[in-house]
């Protein structure tokens, strides 16, 4: 799980907090859910941002294809 969080850009401090909560036991489950939900929202925003940029890149590619064809 930590590898997944790292690969999706979670800050080290948050990963440490998540790991500490996991070691602390089940009474931290609600806090872990909140932490993961917040991270999920940030990941979703990054995905949307990348998709917008991909559209711009594809538009530029289409333009260049129209110039050389």
User: pLDDT of 41-57, one tens digit each?
Assistant: 999 999 999 999 999 99
- CB of 43 within 8 A of CB of 8? yes
pLDDT at 6 > cutoff 90: yes
- Which segments of the chain are extended strands (E)? none
Which tokens belong to 26?
């089940």
**Confidence class for position 69, pLDDT limits 50, 70, 90:** confident
> What pLDDT is recorded for position 29?
98
């Amino acid at each position: 799980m930590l590898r997944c969080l790292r690969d999706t850009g979670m800050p080290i401090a948050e990963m440490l907090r998540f790991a500490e909560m996991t070691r602390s036991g089940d009474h931290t489950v609600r806090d872990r859910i909140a932490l993961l939900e917040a991270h999920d929202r940030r990941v979703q925003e990054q995905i949307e941002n990348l998709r917008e940029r991909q559209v711009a890149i594809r538009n530029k590619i289409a333009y260049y294809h129209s110039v050389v064809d």
